A and B are shown apart, each in its own frame.
Chain A
Amino acid sequence: MLAVPLSTPTGGRLMNRLNFVKLLSKSAIILVTGNFFSTVLKGSSDTAAKAYTHMKRYALGIQIDKCIGCANCVKACKIENNVPRQPFYFRTWVERYIIKKNDEVVVECKEGGAGKLSTELEEREILRSFFVPKLCNHCDNPPCAQVCPVGATFKTEEGIVLVDDDRCIGCSYCIQACPYGARYMHPEKKTADKCTLCYHRIKQGLLPACVEVCPTQARVFGDLESNASPLTRLKRMKKIHVLKPELNTKPKVFYTDLDGEVK
């Protein structure tokens, strides 16, 4: 039996128990308050630091309804990044979708969207039509980096997926693993190549070339960690979707007004 009557000579044990309960509550208070203060202090210092020195997490937003398919982005990207000019290598490209009244879908992307469009349809056949700019999705869970046998493809602290040219062995496994067709084998360097979000520019506070030249501001670049960034604002104001979410790659190119036909 654990229960002990209060008036028995074994009161000492009772006192001990009371003392124990007091001690317990005291330590609980110390623990809770201590924790509270430390949390508050740490939190406030964290917030203060974050406001100025937080690690950036760069990403891109694409407003499909604003894209006019001029392919300035495609051309600018090729020039800025010295992408081979032949129409088999693209860091970014623009697809044109035509959804016909009979639900047939025609997709076209001649010369990465910079070529002359060849599909001609009667207006009455067309249900809706739009352009979709594409590029590396800089996935948070990048399958390319997972499969690279030597770690040449990696994710930077800012969440940008890059390729180390000096390390890449040119096995093409990453190209096979990318669900978005965003990679190609550089014909001269013999290494995998793809969009870097113009890492060399954004590190200097400039915009990626494709964003810079977009005449309709269909491309929105920004820091996901900053509430003030145009991208965060876009994500707040619009309904957002990403490409192939079912593959759990966690893409960081965010589309507004994305049609279900786009893959």
Chain B
Amino acid sequence: MNIASAHEGLTKLLEQVSGFIYPNEIEVHWSILIVVYPYLTGLVAGAFILASLVKVFNVTALKPTYRLALLTALAFLLIAPLPLLLHLGHPLRSWQIFFTPNFSSAMAMFGFVYAWYLMVVLLLEIWFDYRADLVNWGQTAKFPLNWFYRILSLFSKDVSPQAIAFDNKAVKFITLLGIPSAFILHGYVGFLFGSIKANPWWSSVLIPIVFLFSAIVSGIALVMLLYMVITPSRGKPIDMKCLDKVASFLLYAAIVDFSLEILDITHRLYESEESIKIITEMVVNKLFISLVVLQLLIGMVVPLGILIATKLANFNQELRKLLYFLAAILIQIGIFSTRWNVVLGGQMFSKSFRGLISYRMEMFGQEGFLMALTLLVVPFFILALLIKLLPPWGSTETLE
């Protein structure tokens, strides 16, 4: 978007300002791309936590989703930094965050947190878990794919029971390391916002924890959706024991998340600090649909009701599947709205607490709706590719 049209847009926004805002505040700096960023990392953290339930807590019923969850986490993690990069005024200078970071900046820690999670946790765990399969595929696949698997397996050939036992041990250890890492990854994203003392909408110790649990909710719901779509498309039956278990964990996480959100709202209203008046005005005038209707009602209360109903009532399999599917979709809408409300809500009121600012999403352009949509869709293509190359059901169906 060129400068002239940007200014035209800002002039229009100026007319929509209600009350008084500082003159520099008219521009909303963190747009929909920054909404997409915490949504993506949340899915990563949540999917990983679901995977870790299998390895660390031995919830064997979840086994069919284990590898799918890992690959989902990887597919989304690869795209997660892109919205940040595209949003920068000088993307080509972004390497400075990695090489000359300012250690007092929460944002500067991104490089370390991201690299740690990608390299040390996710890739290592996937490698150890797939190693035996990679060796196997390296011998059975056709050229040139066999070479691809050989390289991926780092030319290891040992599939003796001892070697596999070691792989399993390594996976367990990395998962143990991975749980706090996943917490750090998304808790850190929450801290980016929660540590801004200038902004009462963000500045809260609860934010990282709310982010974390909403992440777990969204990640579990996504893997559940993927499992429900992919399994029938392969002509295989859905393992209802597994699905029921995933739904149970989704329910538990959603209960914690909902409680935290209600605690946050109650705390704000009860403390009723200086900013409460403008924040209430903002919620009523700017965020009513996205916060009250989408985030709380449709995205949380309704799916919670559905999940509780499936637990209490004796619905048949087909109805349960339908309800789970519906709940998981609604949860995705709800969590995306949560990210929207946090990121954009924090920029829709003036720090003078005297006025409200509007955000107008562009359709095209670097920070527009289409770009955001692309960033949300691309991980699914990456996941499809990963599933093609590293079939998650490889070992369960061939080795067991």
- Give chain A's interface residues, CB within 8 Å of chain B: 86-90, 93, 95, 105-109, 111-112, 134, 143, 145-151, 167-173, 175-185, 187-191, 247, 263
Contacts and interface: CB of A to CB of B under 8 A. Distances in A.
Interface stretch (B155-163, B228-236, B351-359): B351-359
A252 B25 CA distance: 22
Given A143-B198, A169-B88, A180 B10 contact: no
B277 to A, nearest CB: 12
28 contacts: A86-B10, A93-B22, A93-B23, A107-B352, A143-B198, A146-B104, A146-B105, A147-B107, A147-B196, A149-B102, A149-B105, A149-B107, A149-B108, A150-B105, A150-B108, A168-B90, A169-B89, A169-B93, A170-B89, A171-B84, A176-B196, A176-B198, A176-B199, A177-B196, A177-B198, A180-B351, A189-B89, A190-B89
Residue from B6, B23, B94, B354 having most chain A Cβ neighbours under 10 A: B23
A176 B24 CA distance: 11
B20 A107 contact: yes
Contacts of A182: 22, 24
Given A147-B105, A149-B97, A150-B101, A88 B7 contact: yes
A66 B139 CA distance: 86
A179 B350 CA distance: 10
Given A173-B107, A176-B196, A187 B6 contact: yes
B93 A176 contact: no
A170 B100 contact: no
B265 to A, nearest CB: 22
Nearest to A86: B7
Q: What range describes how many residues of B lie at the interface?
A: 35 or more
Contacts of B353: 263
B27 interface: yes
Chain B interface helix/strand/loop/mixed: loop
A263 B93 contact: no
B306 to A, nearest CB: 37
Contacts of A263: 351-354
A176 B91 CA distance: 19
A143 B353 CA distance: 19
Contacts of B87: 171-172
Q: Can you list the 8 inter-chain pairs with the closest CB atoms, starting with the nearest?
A: A170-B89, A181-B22, A190-B89, A179-B198, A172-B29, A107-B20, A151-B102, A149-B108
Given A88-B27, A105-B354, A143-B198, 19 more contacts: A86-B7, A95-B20, A111-B23, A147-B106, A147-B196, A149-B97, A149-B102, A149-B107, A151-B101, A151-B102, A151-B105, A169-B96, A170-B90, A172-B87, A176-B346, A178-B198, A179-B197, A181-B23, A187-B3
The residue in A95, A150, A177, A182 that gathers the most chain B C-beta atoms within 10 A of its C-beta is A150
A147 B94 CA distance: 15
B105 A148 contact: yes
A195 B289 CA distance: 38
B14 interface: yes
A19 B381 CA distance: 89
Contacts of B94: 169
